[in-house]
Structure 1
Amino acid sequence: MSKAASLIYVADDDPDILELISIVLTRGGFEVVGFETADALMAALAVRTPAAALLDVRIPGQSGLDALKAIKDDSATAHIPVLMLTGDGRLDRIVQAMQLGAAGYVMKPFDGAQLVERVRSLLL
Structure 2
Amino acid sequence: MPFAPPLIFVADDDPATLELIQISLVQDGFAVRAFGSVELVLAALARETPVLVLLDVRMPGQSGLDGLKAIKDSPAGATLPVLMLTGDGRLDRIVQAMQLGAAGYVMKPFGPRQLAAKVREALAGI
TM-score by length of 1: 0.94
Structure 2: 5+ residue runs without aligned partners? none
Residue pair 1:57, 1:88 contacting (<8 A) in 2 also: no
Which AA in structure 1 matches 2:56? D
Which AA in structure 1 matches 2:52? A
Which AA in structure 2 matches 1:11? A
Which AA in structure 2 matches 1:7? L
Which AA in structure 1 matches 2:42? M
Alignment of 1:24-63 (within 5 A): 24-63=24-63
**What does residue 98 of structure 1 align with?**
98
Moved over 4 A (4+): none
Is residue 109 of structure 1 aligned with residue 109 of structure 2?
yes
Give distance in 2, aligned partners of 1:105 and 1:112: 14
SS at match of 2:60: coil
Displacement of 1:121: 2.0
Structure 1: 5+ residue runs without aligned partners? none
Give distance in 2, aligned partners of 1:92 and 1:123: 25
**What does residue 10 of structure 1 align with?**
10
TM-score by length of 2: 0.93
SS at match of 2:70: helix
Displacement of 1:84: 0.3
Give distance in 1, aligned partners of 2:90 and 2:105: 11
Give distance in 2, aligned partners of 1:88 and 1:60: 16
Give distance in 2, aligned partners of 1:114 and 1:50: 20
Identity %: 65
Give distance in 1, aligned partners of 2:114 and 2:82: 16
